[in-house]
Structure 1
Amino acid sequence: MAWSHAQVPDQSGRTALVTGASGGIGLETARVLADRGAHVLLACRSAGRGRAAAARIGGSTEVVQLDLASLDSVREAAARVRGRHERLDLLVNNAGVMFPSYRRTEDGFEAHFGVNHLGHFALTGLLLDLMTAVPGSRIVTVASLAHRAGLGALDEDAARSSTGRRSLTAYGRSKVANLLFARELQRRLATAGAATASLAAHPGLSPTGLWDGDAPRFLRPVAAAGLRWLAQPADQAALPSLRAATDLSVPGGAHLGPSKLFESRGAPAPARSSRVSRDVAVQDRLWRLSEVLTGVRYAFPSTPAETDPSDTVCPVTGARG
């Protein structure tokens, strides 16, 4: 039987955070989790849109203002979550930009890379210790079919480029980074013996607000045709994320996506990905670069003998102590 909303298990007693939950796939993901009994944190750039989404969703929700284009905002949001919650069961890194109106983030990063990857890398690291001892806890990072267009080096020059606002390559590069991050995070969690699993998912094609950006002229007719003939509504496009988050039979490190029409639509199933996204050496290099660029170093569970007190990092401020 194809996996559907009916297979989402009871989430009572669980706390979930979904980025970009004010609309589209994020809203649908949050809605289903709340409907199944989870307390859902709607992490949204606009607090007003977040409150409107909470009213639509019902259930147990709260709004956390989060602008992934600002590392200061990421730290403030993480601090608010930590101040209110002692544990986190699910983190769905869903928010993203595509062909945004601005070229760089507040911190000087290329907009796609800064929001889609670095913002989520920092947020996850700042919240990770709320999750690593929680049985069945999961981190889901939302990638894209467009990751195959992510050509070129993943280095500091690319991260700080000012030429990617209308570039499919720049968007694809950020989505390759999502897959590399999810897989490297799983490797490090497993090595540390953490209870948390990291997975990736992609929604296929869906006519959400992500397409409202200023796409390159050559891409517009292709996108219009694809959305008309291949796309699925947001509630169906959210299924890969929901399965990755709630189906504990899916192992850490998995990548899920729609199963039909070149992974553009259909029930969630294991998805294909590019060779570079599976390259362990590239995963490690991106991780180290992301630590440098964000100033966030992850605190994985370790024994006292493995911990160097001079090399610890405050999970909220990022200060070394």
Structure 2
Amino acid sequence: MSDWTAADLPSFAGRTVIVTGANSGLGLVTARELARVGARTVLAVRNLDKGKSAAADLTGDVEVRKLDLQDLASIRSFADDIRAAGDTVDVLINNAGIMAVPYAQTVDGFESQIGTNHLGHFALTNLLLPTITDRVVTVSSMMHLFGYVSLGDLNWKARPYLAWPAYCQSKLANLLFTSELQRRLDTAGSPVTAVAAHPGYSATNLQGQTGNQLGTRFWGATNRFLATDADFGARQTLYAASQPLPGDSFIGPRFGMRGPTGQNPRSPLAHSRDTATGLWTLSEQLTGVQFGI
């Protein structure tokens, strides 16, 4: 464990980093700090106006590009543009996410939380994988501890929808995806590593977008008294993106919500090789995107 902070970031000069959901919250802080240390930083955002407004306050080489993780066509277009430009991507940070929202479907008919938090990033990562040189960082959550991935009903079509279990499923999926991606990278002899991180409990605009008025008031109160700030939460991602780590690492605060940054435990379900493999196969079927190497 380490008292490491963003002030300890090494130089990223000459390196390119993509951060999804980088117009606010943890993603914005992550992008800000990487741009500060010299990275060419691509803010991959759904709303270009918000992305450009956020980028205006950053220093360094910052670019804003359209990416809607709830639309496979948008994901393919984003990846096509990166490849067509001949760009290499040193680090992809799968940060964007939604939390405990009312039931909705993505453009492609996926339940919105698994669609955004997992399937969208699954497709993006594999489409970009031939261009990635260093690592893929996927942001999970402590809430994965309460998650269960239903391979038979990933998109909540056969069971009553529950917002929090759907969120927990998506965050467990992030860890299973990271483990299976690393296994496939190792098998392919790739030098790229896949790691995951979680912020602890940081106050961001995520808690205010549940679509539930009572829930929004609850999270507003708990944010004031319990949460760390976005700088602390993003610290975990920045550590995962910059430090020498073994593949399939899971980085977060020592004491769950707070504490020094380092390796964290994960739930027994997050260690299931069978579920990880099954989820990967199902994700390929749903998105039409296969392992990118």
TM-score by length of 2: 0.93
Report if the CA contact (8 A) 1:239-1:267 is conserved.
no
Name the SS of the counterpart of 1:266 in structure 2: coil
Provide, for residues 54-84 of structure 1, a one-character-per-residue CA deviation record: whole Å limited to 9, x for no partner: 1111210111101101111111111122222
**Runs of 5+ consecutive residues of structure 2 not aligned to the other structure:** none
1:49 corresponds to which letter in structure 2?
K
Aligned-pair CA distance for 1:166 = 5.6
Q: Does the C-alpha gap of structure 1 residues 275 and 287 become closer, same or farther in structure 2, counting only changes over 3 Å?
A: same
Aligned residue number for residue 255 of structure 1: 250
Alignment of 1:195-214 (within 5 A): 195-214=191-210
Q: Does the C-alpha gap of structure 1 residues 265 and 222 become closer, same or farther in structure 2, counting only changes over 3 Å?
A: farther
Name the SS of the counterpart of 2:126 in structure 1: helix
RMSD: 2.0
Aligned residue number for residue 307 of structure 1: none
Report if the CA contact (8 A) 1:147-1:175 is conserved.
yes
Aligned residue number for residue 5 of structure 2: 4
Measured in 1, the distance between the counterparts of 2:94 and 2:276 equals 18
Identity %: 43
Name the SS of the counterpart of 2:259 in structure 1: strand
Aligned residue number for residue 304 of structure 1: none
Report if the CA contact (8 A) 1:166-1:215 is conserved.
no
Aligned residue number for residue 151 of structure 1: 148
Provide, for residues 226-249 of structure 1, a one-character-per-residue CA deviation record: whole Å limited to 9, x for no partner: 42333111111101111111002x
Measured in 2, the distance between the counterparts of 1:164 and 1:264 equals 30
Measured in 1, the distance between the counterparts of 2:46 and 2:159 equals 24
**Runs of 5+ consecutive residues of structure 1 not aligned to the other structure:** 301-321
2:262 corresponds to which letter in structure 1?
A
Aligned residue number for residue 298 of structure 1: 291
Measured in 1, the distance between the counterparts of 2:76 and 2:202 equals 31
Q: Does the C-alpha gap of structure 1 residues 145 and 219 become closer, same or farther in structure 2, counting only changes over 3 Å?
A: farther
Alignment of 1:197-236 (within 5 A): 197-214=193-210, 223-224=219-220, 226-236=222-232
Report if the CA contact (8 A) 1:109-1:161 is conserved.
no
1:242 corresponds to 2:243 = no
Report if the CA contact (8 A) 2:103-2:163 is conserved.
no
2:277 corresponds to which letter in structure 1?
D
Report if the CA contact (8 A) 2:44-2:64 is conserved.
yes
Report if the CA contact (8 A) 1:103-1:162 is conserved.
no
Name the SS of the counterpart of 1:238 in structure 2: helix
2:274 corresponds to which letter in structure 1?
A
1:50 corresponds to which letter in structure 2?
G
Name the SS of the counterpart of 2:42 in structure 1: strand
Measured in 1, the distance between the counterparts of 2:160 and 2:130 equals 34
Report if the CA contact (8 A) 2:207-2:216 is conserved.
no
- Alignment length, in residue pairs? 292
Aligned-pair CA distance for 1:195 = 1.3
Measured in 2, the distance between the counterparts of 1:193 and 1:148 equals 31
Name the SS of the counterpart of 1:99 in structure 2: coil
1:193 corresponds to which letter in structure 2?
G
Measured in 2, the distance between the counterparts of 1:34 and 1:202 equals 21
Measured in 2, the distance between the counterparts of 1:33 and 1:206 equals 19
Q: Does the C-alpha gap of structure 1 residues 240 and 165 become closer, same or farther in structure 2, counting only changes over 3 Å?
A: farther
Aligned-pair CA distance for 1:207 = 1.3
Aligned residue number for residue 181 of structure 1: 177
Measured in 2, the distance between the counterparts of 1:123 and 1:17 equals 11
2:252 corresponds to which letter in structure 1?
G
Measured in 1, the distance between the counterparts of 2:129 and 2:88 equals 9
Aligned residue number for residue 111 of structure 2: 110
Name the SS of the counterpart of 2:138 in structure 1: strand
Name the SS of the counterpart of 1:158 in structure 2: coil
Measured in 2, the distance between the counterparts of 1:16 and 1:127 equals 12
Measured in 1, the distance between the counterparts of 2:158 and 2:58 equals 38
TM-score by length of 1: 0.86
1:17 corresponds to 2:18 = yes
Report if the CA contact (8 A) 2:48-2:65 is conserved.
yes
